[in-house]
Amino acid sequence: MTSPATPARPGGTVLVTGGAGFIGCAISDSLMEAFDRVVVVDNLHPQIHASGARPAELNAAAELIIADVAESSTWDRVLEQVTPDVVIHLAAETGTGQSLDEATRHTHVNVVGTSQLLDGLNRHQKLPRRIVLSSSRAVYGEGAWQDGDGTTFYPGQRTSETLDKAQWDFPNAVPVAMKASETFPAPVSVYGATKLAQEHVLQAWAKSFGVETVILRLQNVYGPGQSLINPYTGIMSLFCRMAMGGKSIPLYEDGEVRRDFILIDDVASAIVAGAVSPRVQGEPMDIGSGEFQTIGTAAKLIAEHYKAPAPHVTGQYRQGDVRHAWADVTAAERVLGWTPQFNLSQGIDRLATWIDAQPDVKPA
């Protein structure tokens, strides 16, 4: 994986929660270049870290503290030895479908974990200059659509009744890109609701204490380094493993579901920019590739890479999935000076090449 462009160097200490995960490892090299000290707090959850060992991808100079962000004692322990100038809050349970079955777990980690962090910072009088939160496009739910007259409306979650009839889109309407300054958030998953709660808790707290906030709503992140054992990390690695085994990739609905697939390299550079940029804004910003692709297009590119059979449409659906999602990234470009660098074809090539090089990967 290539490192993001060398950032400005504010120096000082950065504290990264969940920093031994996919995104945390991807930003660790750049953070070591930008800060004097990088401290990572992560519980090395077995769903992500099967061996429980420190990830090799985490920069060797980063200090790793194995602890649970949702426990008050964690912050007493950490903040006794760390005075953060910037906090990057990545720690979260991320499974959209899983959150429906484990709502308490997701709420505890995502919401209580955030409030415990903030309470700890206040309790120890170690308020950082800035907190960067990795949020999610899941806060929008189905997002905004426009009818034939150009009027914007919010259709809400699709029902089983309409999905059983293969009515995938909303009649006589077109979807609109997700834009934090315009699109009203209306999550349709427990996970999305907890991410929106994170945003609200952080903003209310930070404004009271004069702490800068950078809230980045990430679209579908994928790429080298993502977990190949976690079934909730997204479809791209699963599609690669299916095609690797010579299978035809199954496409839910009609294969025309739109998604904004953003390579981890671009996500990493956005988060680092949020940590070091001299200019920030307190309101959320969207991070995506700058364009949408259909699930069918992504599957076709992966199948071609592996010379696998063409993908096939199944007509199945997953309850709680939104129909279309992609980002308007103009705010992040304007405020942070960040732009995505990789298109879908480049990203798939990087992901598949990395997966092919893994010694223990098995076809799905």
Q: State the residue for tokens 């059979």.
A: 309
Q: Which of 191, 222, 306, 317 is catalytic?
A: 191
Q: For residue 81, give both structure tokens.
A: 């030895």
* DSSP structural state of residue 52: -
Strand-strand pairing, 145-147 and 173-175: antiparallel
Which helix (H) or strand (E) is 13 found in, with range? strand 13-17
232 included as an active-site residue: no
Q: Work out the burial of residue 57: count CB atoms within 10 Å of its CB; fewer than 13 is exposed, 13-18 middle, 19 or more buried.
A: middle
Q: Is 74 helix (H, G, I), strand (E, B) or coil?
A: helix
Report the chain's C-alpha Rg in angstroms: 20
CA distance 228 to 286: 26
Backbone angles phi, psi at 145, to 5 degrees: -130, 165
The residue length of the chain stands at 364
Give me the active site residues, please: 191
